[in-house]
Structure 1
Amino acid sequence: MAHRSYLPALAAALFLAGCASQPHPAEQPRTQPLPDGLRADVAVLETTDLHSNILSYDYYKQKADPTLGFERTVTLIRKAREQFTNSLLFDAGDTIQGSVLADYQAQVHKVDCSEELAIYKAMDAVGYDGGTLGNHEFNYGLPFLSQVTGTPMNVDGGAAQRCAGPHYPLVLANVYSTRDGKPIVQPWTVVTRQMAAFTPDGSKISVPLKIAIIGFTPPPIMQWDKQHLEGKVTVTGVVEAAQKYLPEIQAQHPDLVIAILHGGMNTSPYTPDMENGGWHLAGVPGIDVLLMGHEHTDFPGPRFEHMQDVDDEHGFVRGVPAVMGGFFGKDLGVIRLALVRQQNHWAIDKNKTFSQVWPICPPMLIKGKPTVTPSNCVPADPQVSLVVGKVQQSAIDYVNTPIGQNTVRMSSYFADEGDMSALAPVNAAQIDDAKRELLTSHPELANTPVLAAAAAFRNGFGGSDDYTDVQAGPLTLRNAADLYFYPNTLSAVKIDSATLKAWLEKSAERFNRIDPNADGEQQLINAKYPGFNFDQIQGGISYLIDVSKPVGQRIEKLRYQGKPVQPSQTFVVVTNNYRASGGGRFPGLDGSNIVLASPDGTREILADWLKAHPTLSADDLPRASWHFARLKTRGAVVFTSASDKQAVAEADGLRDVRQLRDNGDGTAVYAIDLSH
């Protein structure tokens, strides 16, 4: 495989033309057998979960965001190609959905058959060797997927003609049409690339490398996109699909077999509907390299540090080199694959092979803590923005489309102190959506109370501007993003009353223990406990938080519909996928009690809910569910928020909050009187 240089002038022309990268230069085939002892290093590069984040831009906030974006990943790709003589580039899915631009091209101004999606144009100009489909590829339905991938599918609504799609092969082995039982996308393919290799005496020669790729998507797509897939396709487990097609692949005598899995790792006993089957897939004989995604995290990375048969230092899963390259273009997965020729075939030298995840924003040590700062991010490739052209501005105009009117101010300046105005619409939307879904998916839960949990994601951690503030007036999609900052999906768990209380107790760790007899100022907020873990639950419950009590003993007078919660009661609590699957290490939340896992983003669910309430008023929102227990203190209990916002607190019912002093940086110190 010849090294592919990335020449700006050529790249610009390719972006403007929307063409694929230039093919590898022709090589004269070797007629002599390759000698044993040959060595070659091949960089296997991976992007995953790009979610159509082409530019480093926040469409909701309408400003640059240098911490994400494919245009910066391209800079790392170029760096890797300069560093490694031989390289291959693959994508592990969740590519075409997930940004305003993606929604615009799929739902607002749908691309024509002759027009390639912007994300695929960008990827083609860089030059990919293959990819697979993630679960979010199915969000817009099979007709759209068939069209934009350039893949005629024998399914209802599938494109009969080949439309404009990516100029690299897509493979998917575990999704089949119900019409003919055949894969809707080719399950595997073989690509051959020339590469530089070195003989034992140091001579450099060019040799062919025959690479087979096979792709997999998460089997739960049948649940997540039931409305698009039921009756049209069937899905098998990833292990079964690999075992089915590996004999065919081996018959082609490839030098390497690379499995591209849109999924992560789970060491639980294998089931065919397992969402994250990477650990089990790595154990299937015949797979040489594993590329993963879906979990929006890094491998190697600390999340997998103690996983059985996983080398988190060098990047091996059950002896197979593996990588998972983050999400949103924040990272590039890199496997340095050391190959050696032995007994007339290529083998992987595992002692010299390792995986890494390269971030576009390498963290800096600030006060001893690794911190990502925009100033430390790699620059964007200057040509990538050419690919979006006019559609970029069109998407911006779209996100400014009005979705209603608001008569109440919703802010998070005092969310830690009991102002739930910014959380109430989130919780209301979550409850409404979950109730609808549970009617069909879990009718046995029809009489179970449905609650919802939300946290203030923007709570001042990033400075004086890091607060949600949606003022009365017109509502747009940008406001929905302000109210729900992260791209989580909606999940719901079934829990008992003990778990409900433990959930609230864990959340209450947000506060320091206050000594009522102390003379000096006491900080209310525990700075070591992140605000995004301070879940506030609504839906008919009420409770008090006593900050004078130790951790684990702070929740008092927990009631549902005015009556004390009983030990025998059960609840469904709607939250996000992060929390439901164990994020934050909340007691009783480990993914085992999930009763609803929606593919829909909570932000989008909220936007739809706001549209359904075109003139939003306080009557549409649930009341605040908690207050601090009364506590008379000798000294002041203080906290920090944006300066000059005391009137906001008072308007939202927090009349015991007063500003003490301005810090001169846009923030101020406030005192809260807990005695009332």
Structure 2
Amino acid sequence: MPNHGSYTTSLRIMETSDVHGQLLSYDYFSEQNKPGLGLAATALLIAEARKEAPLNLLIENGDLLQGSALADWAVAEFPVAQATHPIIAVLNQLKYDVANLGNHEFNFGLDFLAHSYRDAEFPIVSSNLQLLEQAPSALAAQLTPIAWFDYSVTPPSSAPVPLKVAVIGVVPPQIMQWDQHHLEHKVQVDDMLSSARDAARQARHQGADVVILAAHTGMPKHTANPEDAEQTGWLLAGIKDIDALLLGHQHEVFPGTNVYDLLPEVNSNLGTIRGIPAVQPGIYGSHLGIIDLQLTYDFADKKWQVSDFQTSVRAVNDSMHEAPVIKQQIDPAHKATLDFMQQPIGQTLVPLSYKTARVQPSSAVQFVQRAQAWQAQQLLTAHGLADLPLLSAAAPFDAAFAANDRATTIAAGPITRGAIGDLYRYPNTLDVVKVNGAQLKAWLEHSAEGLLSAATVAGKQSEQCWSLINEDFPHYNFDMILGVDYNIDVRQPVGDRIVNLTYRAQPVAADDEFYVATNNYRATGGGDFPSLDGQNIVARGADMLSDVLLGYIGSLPENSYQEQIEEHWQVIGIGCGGRI
């Protein structure tokens, strides 16, 4: 007998995003295990989640092929044109259903992209990417604006009922700036919002019962303004034809973060954006995003509808092991990467050290600053921005609090990829901000809070220097800004310590304007620096800064760094002069 009521089932949507080639729980730069990360560990979460919900979809949301030592090895040495990319082989093993593209998929050109996904046993979705005539023909066969999944659901005492699910995906159009040299005249990338709206509408017209949007984008942080050309997640959630939203790109964990709480209609506890269920699963396989859609079928109308939902993110625990089958599969690539990391990529004629960076200019910090300025100048030129002085702000990551403390140091001589990773350990990218002289001084004043008052220290000269360090102030917030000269007078109260601030021997006026190259963490409010909240960013890089350092070395004559320390700032008001 036909069923004249309704039937309810559940569809589980699982998401990974921003894996950045991190397959194992291992740090190739420090040569140590790094629990809590890696797709081989995420695989255990995937297997568990699948067992709980037989009707499921596993979706990869971009930035898969770049960002780890193993990914770099694959670009440089793996014969991707002839053999299956090791990262794609893992996704095949884990039986992914569909993958969206992220901005970093385009870093190595369209041929590499086509070769990498050639053997993928799942469709590649991209709803706002249009291939032009000069694009590789193989890529056209791999991409689809809508990925379709047809299921047969059998309610009790009823014939099977079809369930048609559509997955659409978008990538930031800014890839046309970030990878212009790879993409110009080969692809066109349309606006994410209009493209997703059109694709969702088309999916409904073609009979989709459920529409899932995999969007390689996040949302504006620490602001009530949802408008952003790159981070369009809030706007995408307003598309009436979508049922679930998968986010990425920003490396946040949602639900669970408070960085979006100022935006209207965002519930970071329930995981909803404008009433739509949404997840974002962090970085490096640290989390698995899950959306459970409760679907109710009305036998009279012969239609499915979403009647309820639940969102969650499951973390890879530090004690969690890696899936043995994945670990074994990756082992050849892992061993090859270990050898690859020992290869020299250049040399430095001066030792690079963070050790004394909390009390005087640092060779390692200046190496980072010069690399940032090198890429920032390219970005400013590409954007056609006004010709203003370009400065560069960076902080030490592993400095010392005392004379006997260890810190990151690279001896003069060959530089390996592993050494570069040790020098810059965070997955930051480059931003360029525009500030005036008053804001520049306020930036430095905040950094100067990393030093104690002269009145609090006593003893010998070198001991006084070390004793000045405020150990409650993180190393990574002690910014130094290369391109200007200044003194930090620790006799003065907090907020009035920056004196003799000059640019090219001329005092910096309050209304002078500068560009400052910095990392995206700082530019978007990290560290609570005044006037740095993401509103004054004028250009953004797509590459992680560890890759920028590699590129900078490669740009130097004979791949050789030989800049001496520029003594552009010093602490005054206490016997702390000279190198220690």
Is this a same-fold pair by TM over 0.5?
yes
User: One-letter code of the match for 1:130?
Assistant: V
> For 2:553, what is the secondary structure of its paired residue?
helix
- Asked whether the equivalents of residues 507 and 533 of structure 1 are also in contact (C-alpha less than 8 Å), the reply is yes
In structure 1, the residue matched to 2:359 is: 417
- Asked whether the equivalents of residues 215 and 246 of structure 2 are also in contact (C-alpha less than 8 Å), the reply is yes
User: One-letter code of the match for 1:504?
Assistant: L
Structure 2: distance between partners of 1:456 and 1:517:
23
> For 1:40, what is the secondary structure of its paired residue?
strand
Q: What is the correspondence of 1:437-456 to structure 2 with a 5 Å cutoff?
A: 437-442=379-384, 444-445=386-387, 448-456=388-396
**Deviations 1:466-512 (Å, cap 9, x if unpaired)?**
73111223221112112222222222112111111111112222234
**CA drift at 1:414:** 2.2
User: One-letter code of the match for 1:315?
Assistant: G
Instruction: Confirm whether residue 137 of structure 1 aligns to residue 105 of structure 2.
Output: yes
The one of 421, 431, 441 aligned to 1:491: 431
In structure 2, the residue matched to 1:289 is: 244
> For 1:397, what is the secondary structure of its paired residue?
helix
**Deviations 1:342-383 (Å, cap 9, x if unpaired)?**
453333233xx221221113xxxxxxxxxxxxxx33111112
Structure 2: distance between partners of 1:246 and 1:180:
28
**CA drift at 1:208:** 4.6
**CA drift at 1:421:** 1.9
> For 1:549, what is the secondary structure of its paired residue?
coil
Structure 1: distance between partners of 2:342 and 2:259:
38
User: One-letter code of the match for 1:534?
Assistant: F
Instruction: Confirm whether residue 566 of structure 1 aligns to residue 566 of structure 2.
Output: no
**Deviations 1:87-111 (Å, cap 9, x if unpaired)?**
3211111111111222222233341
The one of 20, 40, 60 aligned to 1:91: 60
Structure 1: distance between partners of 2:417 and 2:89:
26
**CA drift at 1:194:** 4.8
The one of 471, 475, 478 aligned to 2:415: 475
User: One-letter code of the match for 1:620?
Assistant: E
Instruction: Confirm whether residue 538 of structure 1 aligns to residue 482 of structure 2.
Output: yes
**Deviations 1:517-569 (Å, cap 9, x if unpaired)?**
99999964444432212111112x12122334333222121112223212232
User: One-letter code of the match for 2:375?
Assistant: D
The one of 325, 331, 334 aligned to 1:383: 325
> For 2:23, what is the secondary structure of its paired residue?
coil
The one of 75, 92, 105 aligned to 1:106: 75
Q: Please, which runs of 5 or more residues in structure 1 have no aligned partner? A: 1-31, 151-163, 362-375, 638-649, 656-676
> For 1:422, what is the secondary structure of its paired residue?
helix
In structure 1, the residue matched to 2:147 is: 189
Instruction: Confirm whether residue 126 of structure 1 aligns to residue 108 of structure 2.
Output: no
**CA drift at 1:133:** 0.3
- Asked whether the equivalents of residues 323 and 333 of structure 1 are also in contact (C-alpha less than 8 Å), the reply is yes
User: One-letter code of the match for 1:304?
Assistant: Y
Structure 1: distance between partners of 2:127 and 2:468:
54
Q: What is the correspondence of 1:12-91 to structure 2 with a 5 Å cutoff?
A: 36-91=5-60
The one of 121, 124, 137 aligned to 1:167: 121
Structure 1: distance between partners of 2:319 and 2:154:
32
Structure 1: distance between partners of 2:406 and 2:274:
43
> For 2:455, what is the secondary structure of its paired residue?
coil
**Deviations 1:194-218 (Å, cap 9, x if unpaired)?**
5686x6xxx9997653211001001
**Deviations 1:137-160 (Å, cap 9, x if unpaired)?**
11111121122223xxxxxxxxxx
In structure 1, the residue matched to 2:494 is: 551
- Asked whether the equivalents of residues 392 and 517 of structure 2 are also in contact (C-alpha less than 8 Å), the reply is yes
Structure 2: distance between partners of 1:620 and 1:459:
20
User: One-letter code of the match for 1:396?
Assistant: L
Structure 1: distance between partners of 2:57 and 2:19:
18
Closer/same/farther in 2, CA of residues 316 and 34 from structure 1, 3 Å limit: farther
Closer/same/farther in 2, CA of residues 191 and 406 from structure 1, 3 Å limit: same
**CA drift at 1:285:** 1.1
Closer/same/farther in 2, CA of residues 43 and 509 from structure 1, 3 Å limit: farther
Q: What is the correspondence of 1:182-261 to structure 2 with a 5 Å cutoff?
A: 184=140, 185-194=143-152, 208-261=162-215
- Asked whether the equivalents of residues 99 and 123 of structure 2 are also in contact (C-alpha less than 8 Å), the reply is yes
Q: Mean Cα displacement is larger for which, 286-295 or 116-125? A: 116-125
Given the two structures, how large is their TM-score scaled by the length of structure 1? 0.77
Q: What is the correspondence of 1:611-630 to structure 2 with a 5 Å cutoff?
A: 611=554, 612=556, 614=558, 620-630=563-573
Structure 1: distance between partners of 2:134 and 2:560:
50
Q: Mean Cα displacement is larger for which, 85-94 or 69-78? A: 85-94
In structure 2, the residue matched to 1:349 is: 307
Closer/same/farther in 2, CA of residues 625 and 358 from structure 1, 3 Å limit: farther
User: One-letter code of the match for 2:271?
Assistant: G
**CA drift at 1:616:** 5.1
**CA drift at 1:168:** 1.2
Instruction: Confirm whether residue 603 of structure 1 aligns to residue 546 of structure 2.
Output: yes
Q: What is the correspondence of 1:246-325 to structure 2 with a 5 Å cutoff?
A: 246-266=200-220, 268=225, 270=227, 274-300=229-255, 301-325=257-281
Q: Mean Cα displacement is larger for which, 451-460 or 523-532? A: 523-532
Q: Mean Cα displacement is larger for which, 208-217 or 410-419? A: 410-419
User: One-letter code of the match for 2:440?
Assistant: L
Structure 2: distance between partners of 1:466 and 1:337:
51
Q: What is the correspondence of 1:325-404 to structure 2 with a 5 Å cutoff?
A: 325-342=281-298, 343-350=301-308, 353-361=309-317, 376-404=318-346
Structure 1: distance between partners of 2:3 and 2:407:
63
- Asked whether the equivalents of residues 354 and 399 of structure 2 are also in contact (C-alpha less than 8 Å), the reply is yes
Report % sequence identity. Answer: 36
> For 2:552, what is the secondary structure of its paired residue?
helix
Given the two structures, how large is their TM-score scaled by the length of structure 2? 0.89
> For 1:38, what is the secondary structure of its paired residue?
strand
- Asked whether the equivalents of residues 100 and 125 of structure 2 are also in contact (C-alpha less than 8 Å), the reply is yes
- Asked whether the equivalents of residues 244 and 291 of structure 2 are also in contact (C-alpha less than 8 Å), the reply is no
**CA drift at 1:613:** 5.2
Q: Please, which runs of 5 or more residues in structure 2 have no aligned partner? A: none
**CA drift at 1:179:** 3.3
Structure 1: distance between partners of 2:565 and 2:159:
71
Closer/same/farther in 2, CA of residues 509 and 84 from structure 1, 3 Å limit: farther
- Asked whether the equivalents of residues 101 and 171 of structure 2 are also in contact (C-alpha less than 8 Å), the reply is yes
> For 2:393, what is the secondary structure of its paired residue?
strand
In structure 2, the residue matched to 1:16 is: none
Structure 2: distance between partners of 1:563 and 1:195:
75
- Asked whether the equivalents of residues 438 and 509 of structure 2 are also in contact (C-alpha less than 8 Å), the reply is no
- Asked whether the equivalents of residues 404 and 613 of structure 1 are also in contact (C-alpha less than 8 Å), the reply is no
> For 1:507, what is the secondary structure of its paired residue?
helix
Q: Mean Cα displacement is larger for which, 406-415 or 116-125? A: 406-415
- Asked whether the equivalents of residues 516 and 631 of structure 1 are also in contact (C-alpha less than 8 Å), the reply is no
Closer/same/farther in 2, CA of residues 315 and 443 from structure 1, 3 Å limit: closer
Structure 1: distance between partners of 2:195 and 2:540:
24
* Structure with more relative contact order (C-alpha pairs < 8 Å, separation 6 or more): 2
Q: How many residues align?
A: 563
